[in-house]
Amino acid sequence: MRYFLLSFFLGVFTLPTPLAAETGDDAWLRYAPVDVAMRGRYDRLPAYVAALGDSVVIKSAQAELIRGVRGMLGRTLRAERDLPRGSAIVLGTFAGVQAARLAIRLPTGLREDGYWLKTITLNGFPCLLITAPNDRGVLYGVFALSRRIGLGEAVSQLDEQQAPYAPIRWVNEWNNLDGTIERGYAGPSLFFEKDDVVEDLSRARDYARLLASVGINGCVVNNVNANPRVIRAEFLPQLARLAAAFRPWGVRLGVSIDLGSPKIIGGLDTFDPLDPRVANWWKEKFDEIYRVIPDLGGVVVKADSEGRLGPSTYGRTHADAANVLARALRPHGGLIFYRAFVYDHHLDWRNLKNDRARAAYDNFHSLDGQFDDNAVVQIKNGPIDFQVREPASPLFGGLEKTNQAIELQITQEYTGQQRHLCFLVPMWKAVLDIDMHAQGAGTPVKALVAGKTFRRPVGGFVAVSNVGRDPTWLGHHLAMANLYGFGGLAWNPDLSARRIGEEWTRLTFGHDLRVVETIANILLQSWPTYEKYTGPLGAGTLTDILGSHYGPGIESSEENGWGQWHRADHDGIGMDRTVATGTGYIGQYRPPVAGLYESRANCPDELLLFMHHVLYTYVLHSGKTVIQHIYDSHYEGAEQAERFVGQWRSLRGRIDEPRYRQVLARLEYQAGHAQVWRDAVCNWFLRKSGIHDAKGRVGHFPNRLEAESAELEGYQIEEVKPWEAASGGKAVECLSSAPPCVASFRYEGKPGWRDVSVQYFDQNNGASRFKLFVAGQLVDEWVADDALPSRRMGADSSTRRKTKGLALRPGDEIRIEGFPDAGESAPIDYLEIRPTARGVPGVSLGERIPRQ
Amino acid sequence: MRYFLLSFFLGVFTLPTPLAAETGDDAWLRYAPVDVAMRGRYDRLPAYVAALGDSVVIKSAQAELIRGVRGMLGRTLRAERDLPRGSAIVLGTFAGVQAARLAIRLPTGLREDGYWLKTITLNGFPCLLITAPNDRGVLYGVFALSRRIGLGEAVSQLDEQQAPYAPIRWVNEWNNLDGTIERGYAGPSLFFEKDDVVEDLSRARDYARLLASVGINGCVVNNVNANPRVIRAEFLPQLARLAAAFRPWGVRLGVSIDLGSPKIIGGLDTFDPLDPRVANWWKEKFDEIYRVIPDLGGVVVKADSEGRLGPSTYGRTHADAANVLARALRPHGGLIFYRAFVYDHHLDWRNLKNDRARAAYDNFHSLDGQFDDNAVVQIKNGPIDFQVREPASPLFGGLEKTNQAIELQITQEYTGQQRHLCFLVPMWKAVLDIDMHAQGAGTPVKALVAGKTFRRPVGGFVAVSNVGRDPTWLGHHLAMANLYGFGGLAWNPDLSARRIGEEWTRLTFGHDLRVVETIANILLQSWPTYEKYTGPLGAGTLTDILGSHYGPGIESSEENGWGQWHRADHDGIGMDRTVATGTGYIGQYRPPVAGLYESRANCPDELLLFMHHVLYTYVLHSGKTVIQHIYDSHYEGAEQAERFVGQWRSLRGRIDEPRYRQVLARLEYQAGHAQVWRDAVCNWFLRKSGIHDAKGRVGHFPNRLEAESAELEGYQIEEVKPWEAASGGKAVECLSSAPPCVASFRYEGKPGWRDVSVQYFDQNNGASRFKLFVAGQLVDEWVADDALPSRRMGADSSTRRKTKGLALRPGDEIRIEGFPDAGESAPIDYLEIRPTARGVPGVSLGERIPRQ
C-alpha cells in the first residue's frame, strides 16, 4: 500500500482525459484507461499472471489484476497456474513461492498483510513477483501495483516492501436487520432487508473489494445496537453467506451482539457474565458460529450505554463482560471489541460538576489490566460523540495493559450527513497526532491505539462507515475520500491529508491538473469550513442533538440529561472542565496535556469552549473576542462554502457530467444551508448576548424580503421553532383549501440583471411545487422533492432555489405561487435578490428551463 | 437564415466547453451555454423582448427567444406586449410594426418568409428589430438571431435581410397510421399509433420547432402509400390536432391521399378524375377538410406506381388526376404534389431496350403545360430511386410550363440506413448544381425546381425525412446533419457543404476546434466513402433491392422486373442507355447534357456504368481498368471507414459521453460492415470476371480463420445465400439441442499482443450469447442483440466483435461458445486476428469487461 505522488508527472497529465459518464459504483477502482501519453510506459508489462496456490484470495488477486490491466491498458493478461515460459507477473505467498522452488531470498520480518513487489528474473525472463507472508498481503500487493499504473507510475524496476501500521483495520456498519441504517445517509443496507440477509450480495462483494483495496480487513455488518437474532442458530447460514461474500477479498466478517443474548435468546434466566451457565452458553454459541463461519473476525459489544443491557445489571465490570466473550472466542482466534462509549444520558444538567466527557475514562481507566488479550476497548476519537471538533479522548492515554482501537466515523453524523462536504482526514490526523504523554513524550494517539507504545498484541483503527445502496456508496461522490482516507491512515497514519486527497482524486477523477488541485483544495478546506459555520471554538456542533443531528439547534443540547452542554447564557459560553473550578475532566489527561488545557491562557482557541467557560468578551489568542469570533467565523464559513461552488464549476467539462452534476447539486445546497447555519447561530448569539457584530452584518439583510412581510393570498404566517431556524423567526405556509397560495413581493431596487433566491422549506412528507413570476411572466418553477431529514419547517428543511439572470426594475411584482402536497404546505421563508455576475454562466443544475 | 462562419473566432473557442450528457433530443437547438470567453459580448443584449401582435407564431417566436437566451446566456428576457421604456428586442410583422407606428422605413421586395434583423433606436433606447412580411418570417428571424449567439457572432450592429430561395421547403414523412414508418430507421412514428394520432404530441411539436429553425414550412405526415382513412370525416379532428401542433412553428400540415378515395371511402363507383361526380366529391371533401384545418398546406399523391391506383385505370393522364385535386384545393390555397415516381415494375429484363430510368420523363414530359398552377410535379433527384449515385432526372429539364419540386431523401434508404454515416449534402449539391441547359446554359436543377428559370408561381424542395421516436430523431446523431443541411439548401442552395457541416457541428457539439474540424471532415468524406465500398461508377447501390435495401446483394437487381439492372456478366457491366445502341435514355437530356453522357470517352467515370455497358478491362479516365477500380475503391472505402473510428476516438473527452458513445458504436459497426461490403462485392466480381486483383488482396485473407474450418462441437456448417454474403460462402450455426456449441481454433501465428475479431451474424429474431476463451481463459462475452434488418444469416446481419489486447502464442486454442436464443442460432462466419496497436487505448465501447 503506497501513497505517494510524483509531482514531475503532473505536466503530462493535462491532456484531455476520457469523460465516460460514471455513477460512482467503482469509486477509486475505476481502472480508467491510462492517458495516451503514459501508455507506452507499460508496453513491456508481462503478458502472463501466474498465481501460485489456489486460495480464494489469491484467485481474487489474479482476477483483479487482469481486470485492472484490461481497464487501464486494454490488454487481457493470461491467467496461469504455473510459471509460464515467458515474462510474467507472479503472485504467491511466501509458502507458495517456496513450494514452487523459485530461487528467491524472501524478506524476513515482513508483518502479516504486508507485501513485497520485486522485479526478478525467472528462467531467463523478466518477471514481477508479488509476494507476502499471507494471501491477503498478496492481494494488497496486487492493488498496490494497479494503483501504481492508475497513478501513471513506473512499474519496471520494483523492490518495494510495505506493511500496515496496525493489525486492526476494521469498519463498522450500523445496519439494522430490517434494512435501515442508523445514521446512514446513502440508502438502505447492502446486507439486510426485511430481517434477512439480501438475496443478491453482489454489492456486498463490491464493497469488500473496495475495502480490500485500501487494506481494510474486517467488517462488522450490523448495528452496535444489536438485534439478538443475528446469532440465532437459524440466522447463521445467512451470516455465512455474507462471510463468503467477503472472504475472497480478505475481509473478515464481524457481528455486533447483545450482551443480554443468553437471557433473550438463550433461554437462561440471566446474562450475568460471571455466571458459569452464561459463560458456557457463550462458549457453545461461538463453537456453533465458528462451525459455520470458521474465519469470523470477532464481535462488537455496546453495553450499559444509551439503554443497552450491560454488566451493571449484575454489578459486574465491563472487563467481566468482555472477558466472558473473549474466552469463548479465544479458541477460534476471534476478537471482542468492547465499546468505551458508556455514559449516563440522564445526567442532571443543573449540576455544573457533571460531565459526560468524563465517562469513558471514569468507566474504563480503573479496569486497565483486567481485559483478556483478545479483548479490545474501542474508543471514540473524542470524549463526547463525533463532534466537529473534540480533543482526543483521555482514555487513549489511560490504558497501558489493555488493547485499544480508535473508533472514527466516516458517516458524517454530526458533520453534514454527506449533504455537506467534510473531508475528515485532517480532523482524524489532528487526533491521531496528539501526544498523550502516556510514557513520556512521543506517545501519539496513533501509536497507542496501534499497540506500539505498550507492546500490545493487537490494536488499531475502526471506522463507522455506513455505506448504502446509493450508487455513490456514501451519498456524495466526494465523501468517498473519507473511506479511502480511513484505509490510508489505518495503513500509514503518517501520510499527509493532502497526499491522500490528491491520490484519491487522481484515481477517482483522473489526472487533469486543474481537477486534482481544485478538488484536493476543496477537500482540505472543507472540514475547517464546516467547523466555522457550525460549532466554534470546541463548543461542539451546535445542532439539534435531540433529533437529526443535522441543522442548527443551539439550545437543544441544554437543559437535558444528554450532557452535550455548551452552557451558553447571556454572559458567556463553554464547559468549565478544569480541575480547579470545573468538572475535573482535564485531570484525566497526563500532566503535560492537562497543563495545556487547564490554563485558559494556554488552551488552544479551537478547544477553548470545550475546556473553559468564558465571557463573550473574552479575547482569544487571535485577538478577537469570543462573540466576534462566532460572528466572523460563521460569515467566513458560509462565504467559503459559496466559493466551493464556483471552484467546482470551474471543473465543468473536465469531469464526467453525472458526477459533476451530483457534486455541484450538493455543493450548491451546502452553500445555501451554510447560510441557514450562519444566520441561526449568529442571530441566536446576538439575541442571547446583546452584543452587536462589529462589522454590522448580523441581523441585517438588506437584500432580503421576508415572506411574512409580503402580500399574501392563502398563505398564512407561522412561527418557526426554534426561532433562529427561520429568518425573522417566521415563515408562511399554504394551508388554504384553494391552492395555489400566493406571496407577492415588490422590488424596489435599482433596475438591472438580478439573481433571485427563494428560501423555502422542503420537508420530507410531500412534494410541494412552486412557481416564480416576475411582472406576470413565469420565470421558474420547481418541485420541493429533496429528502431532507425533517417533516417540519425548520433548519433541517430550509433550502433555496436560485433563479439567475432576471431583469428587474423598480416596482416589479415578484410573485411566488405555492402548491402544497401531502402535508407539505409549500412554506416560504424569504426572498434574496442579488446582482447577476457579468459574463458568468447562468444556467445551473436543477434550474430547469420551463418551455413556454 | 444565414449560414456563415467567422474563422477568426476559432481561436477563442478552444477553451473547455461544457459536456453535459445529451440525448440528441434538442439536436442543433441545444442552446448550450456560450463559452465564458464569448459571454461578455452579449452583456448589452436588451432585457426586454416585445412582441407586436399576438399570432401563435409571434408568440412562439417570443418564447423561443426567451428560451434561447436563457440557455445560452443564463438570462431571462422580459416578455412584453408593447414597447417598453428600455432597450428591447422588438418582434413584429411589417403590419405589426406599422400598427405600432414605429418610425421605421420597412424594406420593399422582401419575399414571404424572409426577415430583417435591424439595430435601431426607439424612444431613445437601442433596440433590435426583427421584422418580416409574415409572422413565419419573424420566427425565422428569431432563430437567425439565436443561431448568431450560438455561433458566437456579434449581435450589436445588425442590418441583415434574408429570404428563401424557393417557396416550397417541405418534408414528407412516410408514416403509416399503425405507427410504423416505411423506410424509417429511428423507431416508431411521432404522429400515429394504432391507427390513430398519438395522444401526446409534444414530440411532434418539438419536431416542428426543429423544422422551423431551418426554414422548413410544410410537413406531410403520412406515407405516400396512403391509407385512405386519413381523410375520412371521423379522422379529421385527429389531423386537426396535428395541424395545431405544427401551427405555432409556421409549419403547414400536408397529407398523402389515395387517388382511389372517391371509390374506396366515398361510396362512388368510380374515381375517374374526369367524372364530374368525382370532381364534386373531391371539392366537398376538401371543403370539409379546410373547415377543420383552415391552413392545410396541401396533399401528395403517388399514383400508378408500385401497385397504387392511378388515372391509367380510366385511360386518363396524370395531369387529369392532378387537376381534379388542384381545382378542389385552389379555393383554399392548397397545393397538390403529384409524384413523378411512376414506372412499370414488371419490365421484361430480357429486353435490353427496356429502361426504368426513362419512366418519369416518358410519363410526364408530354404533359407539360397541362397541370394547373397549384399542382407541383415532385421529381426524385435521380431517374431510379435514391441510389448512392445517379445523374439528375432528365425531367427537371423537360418541364417548362409545369411547377416542379425536387424530392430528396434524408432517410438513408439506400445509403446505409443511418447505421452507416452518409452526409448527403454533397450528393444533393452535385445534383442541384447540374446545368440542364433547359434554356441555354445557366439553368441548374436548383433554379428549375425553384421555378426561377421559367418563372413558375411555385416550386422548391421536398425531402423524405422519416424521423422517429428515437431520441436522436434519425437513429444516428450525425445523420441529423442531413436534416439541417436540407433546410439549409432549401433556403440557400449556394451554401457549401463544408459551411453547412461546420455550422451544424458547432451548434450540435460546440466550438472546440478539433471537434469542428474532425466532424466536418468525417461528414464531407462520408458519402464518397460509402459510395466506394458499395456501388461503383454509377452502377447503383449494389444492395439487396428486393428486401432491406441495406447490405450487399449484387445479383438481386438482375433478372427481375424492377429495372434496377446493372447488367454485370462474365465480361462486363453497365446499362447501355445511349441513343446509339442502348435504351435511348440519354436522349431525354437536352443536347449539351446528352452529348456529354452519350460519349463513353466524355462520360464522367462516376456515371460510366449508369450510361454505358463496358468490359471489365475498359480503362477509365483514372487510368485504371473498371475491375481494378472496383477492387481498389472497395478497399479504399473500407479503410476510410476504419479511419473514421480513429478520428472519432480522438474526440473522446471533447464530446459528451452519451453522444460520443452512440456515434462511436455506429462508426465501429460501420467499419466492420464496410468490410462485409468490400468482401462481398470484390469476391463476386472476382468470381464473375475471373480477373485477379492486381494488388493480390481480393480472395486472400491471411489473418482470417474460417468457422467452417474450425473444430466444431454442436455447430454445423451451413451455406449462406447469396454466397458472397459470408466469407468462404459458409458459416456455422448452433442448431444443437444441447447448447452451447463450440468452435475451436488453433492460433499458429507469432507470439504477441493481438486483437481478435469474431465475425458473426446478429439476426433480429433472438439474442444469442457468445463467450470467447483463449487457452481456457474467458476473455470476452457478449450478446447479439442489435436490431439489424434481417431474420437470416447474410450480409444484412453480418457484424463483428473485436476483443483487443489478447496475449497469444503459437498453439493457443481460441474457443468460441455460442448460446442460441429464440431462433437465432449463434452463427459465426470467421475469426480475424491482427496485432494490437502499441500505446493505443484498448477498451472500447461495447467491449464489456467480464468480472472474473
Cell 421547403, located at residue? B169
DSSP summary character for residue A687: H
Contact present, A496 and A5 (Cβ < 8 Å) = no
Predicted pLDDT at B849: 31
B184 confidence band (pLDDT: 50, 70, 90):
very high
Is the pLDDT score of B530 beyond 80? yes
Q: Which of A135, A407, A413, A632 is catalytic?
A: A413
- CB neighbours of A601 closer than 8 A, spacing ≥ 6? none
- pLDDT tens digits along B122-148: 989 999 999 999 999 999 999 999 999
User: How long a stretch of residues is chain A?
Assistant: 852
Nearest to A27 by CA among A210, A229, A215, A227: A210
- pLDDT tens digits along B758-786: 999 999 999 999 999 999 999 999 999 99
CA distances from B71 to A588, A814, B30, B38, B59 (A): 62, 22, 8, 14, 18
> Averaged over B368-396, what is the pLDDT?
98
User: Among A97-106, A138-147, B838-847, whose mean pLDDT is lowest?
Assistant: B838-847
B21 confidence band (pLDDT: 50, 70, 90):
confident
Cα separation, B799 vs B757, whole angstroms? 10
Partner A contacted by B650 (CB < 8 A): no
CA count, 13 A, side-chain hemisphere, B413: 18
Q: Pick the residue from chain A with its C-alpha nearest to B60.
A: A852
Which three cell numbers mark A194? 426485511
> Averaged over B695-720, what is the pLDDT?
97
In this complex, the residue of A39, A656, A804 whose CB is nearest that of residue B657 is A656
Predicted pLDDT at B843: 33
Nearest to A438 by CA among A455, A459, A421, A416: A455
A850 confidence band (pLDDT: 50, 70, 90):
very low
Judge if the upstream peptide bond of residue A331 is cis by omega within 30 degrees of 0.
no
B653 confidence band (pLDDT: 50, 70, 90):
confident
> Averaged over B205-233, what is the pLDDT?
97
B84 confidence band (pLDDT: 50, 70, 90):
confident
Which run of H or E residues covers position B89? strand B88-93
Per-residue exposure over A181-196, b if at least 16 CB sit within 10 Å of its own CB, e if not: bebbbbbbbbbbbeee
- pLDDT tens digits along B542-586: 999 999 999 999 999 999 999 999 999 999 999 999 999 999 999
Angle, helices B657-689 vs B626-649, to 10°: value is: 160
Partner B contacted by A653 (CB < 8 A): yes
Predicted pLDDT at A23: 86
> Averaged over A395-399, what is the pLDDT?
98
Taking 3-state DSSP, the helix, strand and coil percentages for chain A, each rounded to the nearest 5, stand at 35, 20, 45
Contact present, A557 and A566 (Cβ < 8 Å) = yes
Is the pLDDT score of B18 beyond 80? no
Q: What is the DSSP string of A309-366?
A: --GGGGT--HHHHHHHHHHHHGGGT-EEEEE-----TT--TT-TT--GGGHHHHHHGG
Nearest to B76 by CA among A86, A756, A607: A756
Cα separation, A212 vs A224, whole angstroms? 23
Contact present, A151 and A507 (Cβ < 8 Å) = yes
Predicted pLDDT at B2: 43
In this complex, the residue of B17, B71, B805 whose CB is nearest that of residue A75 is B805
Which three cell numbers mark A619? 479575547
What are the φ/ψ torsions at residue A794 (nearest 5 degrees)?
175, -170
> Averaged over B479-504, what is the pLDDT?
98
Is the pLDDT score of B15 beyond 60? no
DSSP summary character for residue A222: E
- pLDDT tens digits along B25-80: 999 999 999 987 788 889 899 999 999 998 999 999 999 999 999 999 999 999 99
Task: Judge residue A333's burial from the number of C-beta atoms within 10 Å of its C-beta, 0-12 exposed, 13-18 middle, 19 or more buried.
Answer: middle
What are the φ/ψ torsions at residue A53 (nearest 5 degrees)?
95, 160
> Averaged over A531-547, what is the pLDDT?
94
Contact present, B707 and B829 (Cβ < 8 Å) = yes
Q: What is the DSSP string of B424-446?
A: -HHHHHHHHT-B--BTBS--BHH
- pLDDT tens digits along B318-361: 999 999 999 999 999 999 999 999 999 999 999 999 999 999 99
Cα separation, B596 vs B587, whole angstroms? 11
DSSP summary character for residue B300: E
> Averaged over A281-300, what is the pLDDT?
98
A304 confidence band (pLDDT: 50, 70, 90):
very high
B19 confidence band (pLDDT: 50, 70, 90):
low
Task: State the smallest CA–CA distance between residue B153 and chain A in angstroms.
Answer: 15
Contact present, B423 and B526 (Cβ < 8 Å) = yes
CA distances from B590 to A818, B446, B587, B596, B835 (A): 72, 16, 7, 10, 56
- CB neighbours of A703 closer than 8 A, spacing ≥ 6? A832, A833, A834
Q: What is the mean pLDDT of chain B?
A: 94
Cell 414523412, located at residue? B173
Nearest to A271 by CA among A259, A283, A288: A259
Which run of H or E residues covers position B256? strand B252-257
Cα separation, B717 vs B46, whole angstroms? 73
Beta bridge partners of A130: A91, A117
Cα separation, B570 vs B627, whole angstroms? 11
Helices (H) and strands (E) in chain A, counts: 19, 29
Predicted pLDDT at A14: 32
Mutate to test the interface with A, among B19, B81, B845 (most CBs of A within 10 A): B19
- pLDDT tens digits along A316-357: 999 999 999 999 999 999 999 999 999 999 999 999 999 999
B846 confidence band (pLDDT: 50, 70, 90):
very low
Q: Alpha-carbon torsion A33, A35, A40, A44, what sign?
A: negative
Nearest to B203 by CA among B61, B26, B31: B26
In this complex, the residue of A48, A78, A775 whose CB is nearest that of residue B78 is A775
What is the SS3 assignment for A628? helix
Contact B658 A21 (CB under 8 A): yes
Predicted pLDDT at A839: 54
- pLDDT tens digits along A645-696: 999 999 988 898 889 999 999 999 999 999 999 999 999 999 999 999 999 9
Beta strand A168-175 with A125-132: parallel, antiparallel or unpaired? unpaired
- Helix runs in A188-268, H state only: 202-213, 236-246, 261-264
Contact present, B171 and B464 (Cβ < 8 Å) = yes
> Averaged over A218-222, what is the pLDDT?
98
> Averaged over A422-448, what is the pLDDT?
97
Query: What is the share, in percent, of chain A residues with pLDDT greater than 90?
Result: 91
Beta strand B48-51 with B78-80: parallel, antiparallel or unpaired? parallel
Q: What is the mean pLDDT of chain A?
A: 94
Beta bridge partners of B798: B761
Mutate to test the interface with B, among A25, A801, A843, A845 (most CBs of B within 10 A): A843
- pLDDT tens digits along B274-319: 999 999 999 999 999 999 999 999 999 999 999 999 999 999 999 9
End-to-end CA distance of chain B: 56
In this complex, the residue of A78, A653, A852 whose CB is nearest that of residue B16 is A653
Contact present, B642 and B704 (Cβ < 8 Å) = no
Q: Chain A contacts of B657, Cβ < 8 Å? A: 19-21, 656-657
Q: Which of A372, A385, A503, A512 is catalytic?
A: A385
What is the SS3 assignment for B407? strand
Q: Chain B contacts of A75, Cβ < 8 Å? A: 753, 804-807, 836, 842
Cα separation, B122 vs A462, whole angstroms? 73
User: Does ipTM come in above 0.90?
Assistant: no
Contact present, A240 and A295 (Cβ < 8 Å) = no
> Averaged over B797-811, what is the pLDDT?
96
Contact B21 A657 (CB under 8 A): yes
Contact present, B540 and B549 (Cβ < 8 Å) = no
Task: Judge residue A312's burial from the number of C-beta atoms within 10 Å of its C-beta, 0-12 exposed, 13-18 middle, 19 or more buried.
Answer: middle
Task: State the smallest CA–CA distance between residue A49 and chain B in angstroms.
Answer: 11
What are the φ/ψ torsions at residue A37 (nearest 5 degrees)?
-60, -25
Partner A contacted by B840 (CB < 8 A): yes
Mutate to test the interface with A, among B78, B201, B778 (most CBs of A within 10 A): B78
Which three cell numbers mark B358? 426513362
Per-residue exposure over A558-588, b if at least 16 CB sit within 10 Å of its own CB, e if not: eebebbbbbbbeeebbbbbbbeeebbebbbb
